[in-house]
Amino acid sequence: MKKALVLLGLLSVAALASCDKRENREPEQAPGKSFRGTIEEIIPDVSSKAYATHENSTYYLFWNRYDRVSIFYDRTYNREYEFQQRDGSTAGTFERVGEDPAHITEQDITTGFDYAIYPYDRDNACNTIGELTVVIPEKQEFYNDRRGIGVRPMMVAQSETGDFFFKHVGAYLCIRVRGEGFALKSISFQGNNSEIIAGYPTVSFKDGDPVLEFDPRDLDNSDTITMELETPVELDPEEYSLFWLDLPSVTLDNGYTITLKDQNGRTFKKETTKSVTFNRRMFYRTSVDDVIIETTPVSSVSLDKEELALNVGEDETLVATVLPEEADDKAVTWSSSNSDVAEVDDNGKVTAKEAGIATITVTTNDGGKTASCAVTVSDVITYELAISPAEEEINALESLEYTVTLTTVKNGVSSDSQVAATLTSSNIDVATVSGLTATGVAKGTATITASYTPEGETEALTAEATLSVKDVITYSLAIDPEEAEVIIGTPQAYTLTLTTTTNGKDVTSDVTAASATTWSSSNTEIASVSGGTATGAKEGTVTITATYTPSDSDTLSVTAELTVNKKPNQAGDPTPIEDDDF
């Protein structure tokens, strides 16, 4: 067996994966020591020779560039180092990557050894007496290696010279699986006594060889290792698919159970109850045969609705029934013939987007069986009518112009327009309407109703406004006669007339002797007036004033001119001499 020790596809796969991520950049160099590293040979189990990819059935391990390790020297700080030689090197130099943080307060390592762990992990650790903490993942990755080896080795080393001889910490288990009708999604491995097989064990060195130990108090320990496959692997009934797990050195007293799960959630288990011991640096295998699922094909698919009517913005979930009930692959896909009208998600939820017609189709993964539903989507249109002003007060004979606005909301988008609605009055004795104009008639309140039927609709919309009308009342006062002559001692009777005009209609009344009427003379020595009758006292001219105060208005007044003359000649009075007598 060669001691050239090349890290078989195990390291090559892990390294190639890391190479893909870093191949376009040079590692950042940092101060620090340089180290060399070689790898301990591995001892294939006799039963594992069937999986050897080399002609002599020996596993070869080698380094690849960009392989990274944790190295601890002088202090317990986890320093990251990177392999510098080319892929396939059997040994080579590791150089420092990154720098120690400024706040580092790590303790001195007191053993005099330098320590290394492969692969690098931020949780790798070393204490002052050289006990290492390594990581055996509970969740492990599948490396689809061209050599058929998909495990990442776990190795540690101690050195006094700076040349590391990496030794394997645990064992490696190859699970060979073959079958039919099973798309493998995950593999779980568990000891039947729930032994700890994953977590953060410590590694010490005894006679130069690593010894691994779990702390049973550590809550991060696990009794199960699971490998999740990002892409399911379709099993072949004749050829094995290989899957590798990292295991600690452990004895499983009552054997173990392997659980396989396919992409549809179906499970298959293999169990052995025999005691099994996994030793350091050994490769083991186990075969899981006859993972054969006799599939039941899909015969049909149907939908709970063949027709569906929705308004824009509404949604409804269609239910697909795949038969027969025992069909193995009942998965379906959904599609829409016009996703602008109606879209459908992976669960059959149909959402109406805009008016139109679309066909929703469900298709089975197995057999391509289909069923369809015709979806009709209608616009959601609502209307609202408003009249302005909604409340107003006017005078009788006064007119008021109304504005009627139609608000249209289409699929949540609102727009306004003024429309020529029809107006009606609830009381034409109070207010009448013509077109969009209302005119006051008499005191009172009327409801003005606007009515309009939008295009395409059958029912009219209405809106109401309240219109209050006030009476228009005016007064005028007249005296009769406005001019008069009387002789001294002769009375002059007056008539005082009040004209009340209500909303254009006149009503007259004699208020000569009314209690609200007052009379006065501009000169009572010439003539006095009372109760509408004036009496001359001496010759002259006076102004007779009459006032009247309506109950709901200001005081009105009117005047008349009265001339008072001397009494006519009596018998015995001298006859006036006329000018013509001379």
HSE-CB of 240 using CA atoms within 13 angstroms: 16
pLDDT band at 574 (very low <50, low <70, confident <90, very high): low
CA-wise closest residue to 157 among 92, 75, 71, 282: 71
The residue among 532, 509, 506, 510 whose CA lies nearest residue 519 is 532
Which tens digits make up the pLDDT trace of 110-141? 999 999 999 999 999 999 999 999 999 999 98
How many whole angstroms separate alpha carbon 563 and alpha carbon 543? 9
In this predicted structure, which of 23-32, 115-124, 128-137, 531-540 has the lowest mean pLDDT?
23-32
As a whole number of angstroms, the distance between CA 202 and CA 409 comes to: 71
Helix (H) / strand (E) element for 377: namely strand 370-378
Strand partners, 179: 291
Query: Helix and strand tally (H, E) in the chain?
Result: 1, 51
pLDDT at 104 over 80: no
Span 211-258, pLDDT tens digits: 999 999 999 999 999 999 989 999 888 888 888 899 999 999 999 999
**Buried b / exposed e across 161-176, counting CB within 10 Å, b at 16+?**
eeebbbbbbbbbbbbb
* Strand ranges, E, within 454-524: 461-470, 473-480, 483-487, 491-493, 495-502, 505-510, 517-521
Compute the distance between CA of residue 159 and CA of residue 165 in angstroms, rounded to an integer.
Answer: 8
* Predicted pLDDT of residue 34: 84
| Contact assessment for residue 225 and residue 140, using Cβ atoms and an 8 Å cutoff | yes
| pLDDT exceeds cutoff 70 at 397 | yes
The rounded distance, in Å, linking the Cα atoms of 79 and 19 is 20
Q: What is the amino acid identity at position 536?
A: G
Q: Sign of the CA dihedral 121, 122, 123, 128? A: positive
Check whether 4 has a pLDDT greater than 60: no
Other residues' Cβ atoms within 10 Å of the Cβ of residue 28: 10
65-93 average pLDDT score? 88
Interatomic CA distance for residues 177 and 286, integer angstroms = 9
Tokens of 68: 């990274």
- The whole-number pLDDT of residue 286 equals 86
Q: How far is CA 470 from the centre of its chain?
A: 56
Q: Is the pLDDT of residue 383 over 50?
A: yes
What percent of the residues of the chain are helix, what percent strand, and what percent coil, each to the nearest 5?
Answer: 5, 50, 45
Strand pairing class (370-378; 307-311) = parallel
Confidence at residue 180, expressed as pLDDT on a 0 to 100 scale: 82
| Torsion 344-348-354-359 (CA) sign | positive
What percent of the chain has a predicted confidence (pLDDT) above 90?
Answer: 65
pLDDT of residue 581 exceeding 70: no
pLDDT at 442 over 90: yes
pLDDT of residue 195: 96
pLDDT over 70 (residue 577): no
pLDDT tens digits, one per residue of 267-298? 888 999 999 999 998 888 887 776 755 567 89
Q: Which of 175-179, 199-203, 298-302, 414-418 has the lowest mean pLDDT?
A: 175-179
Q: Which two tokens stand for residue 305?
A: 């609705």
Residues 352/312, Cβ–Cβ less than 8 Å = yes
Q: What is the mean pLDDT of residues 143-165?
A: 77
pLDDT recorded at residue 265: 78
How many Cβ atoms sit within 10 Å of the Cβ of residue 486? 16
Please list, residue by residue across 367-400, b when 16 or more beta carbons sit within 10 angstroms of its beta carbon and e when fewer do.
Answer: eebebebebbbeebeeeebbbeeeeeebebeeeb
Backbone angles phi, psi at 46, to 5 degrees: -55, -40
Name the token pair of 159: 């050195």
Average pLDDT, the chain: 85
Sheet-wide strand order for 209-213 = 125-126, 132-133, 202-206, 209-213
Q: Tens digit of pLDDT for each residue in 316-337?
A: 999 999 999 888 788 999 999 9
